[in-house]
Amino acid sequence: MLVLCAMPLLYLFISLFILNRDARLTKYQSQIFQAMFLLFMVAFIQVFFAADRRPQSMIPFIPPVSFFLTHFLLLIRRRRFAEIHLWTLLIGIVTVAYLARYDKIGYIQYKDLIVNDNLGSVHGKRILVLKDQPEKFVNNHLAAAFYEWKLCRPIFEEPDYYQNVQIVDELFERDLPEEIIDPNNLMEGFLKNFHLRHCMLIMRLWKG
């Protein structure tokens, strides 16, 4: 995240330095400046103490950073120099993002965020996947509303709980999948507790 924010951070520090040295603000502008700086500090503390830092965690920085950068550009008297700084900032952001996207920057790896192609034999069907394999949904459709495996795993690994059986049974009643991809045979524990009509259908759909 620091690498991706390198250009905005560079211009932020330049803006704060120039504003502190050369800006001649009115009392009203000075109060707004102090309010924005306070908002910047609150956003910094929020990100610093956050348990999980994500790009959307930077959203509180947008108003104060925009304010400082705008005032920095307005302080430049020659329009040509202001445009040079603006284009340098924009081109720098796009260049860093482009290099990061195509793995030209070693600190950032996007390949773990991209779903691989579906190499299986199932295509164009409504499927249920009982494993963390999002690539199976490429060219297929979700069935039975079970997608996020971290949330679904406790349900399918504990078929002896009536509540879990009831959840699966109700969702199958609403949206029965055309294919069930089950590498670990988790559906086996549910078959003895399902209604007979579901057992007959699941035996036909079930794939290891």
Helix (H, G, I), strand (E, B) or coil at 184: coil
Average pLDDT, the chain: 79
> What is the structure's pLDDT at 74?
83
> What is the structure's pLDDT at 197?
46
One-character DSSP codes across 52-88: S--GGGGGGGHHHHHHHHHHHHHH--SHHHHHHHHHH
- Encode pLDDT of 85-124 as tens digits: 889 989 998 998 888 877 777 666 666 666 666 666 677 7
Task: Select from 179, 167, 129, 120 the least CA-distant residue to 149.
Answer: 129
Window from 2-6, 33-37, 123-127, 192-196 with minimum mean pLDDT: 192-196
pLDDT at 201 over 60: no
Mean pLDDT of 51-65: 83
Long-range interactions of 14-21: CB distance < 8 A, separation 24+ = 14/72, 15/68, 15/69, 15/71, 15/72, 16/68, 18/72, 18/75, 19/68, 19/71, 19/72, 19/75
Domains of the chain: which residue ranges? 6-112, 126-207
pLDDT at 53 over 90: no
Mean pLDDT of 72-88: 86
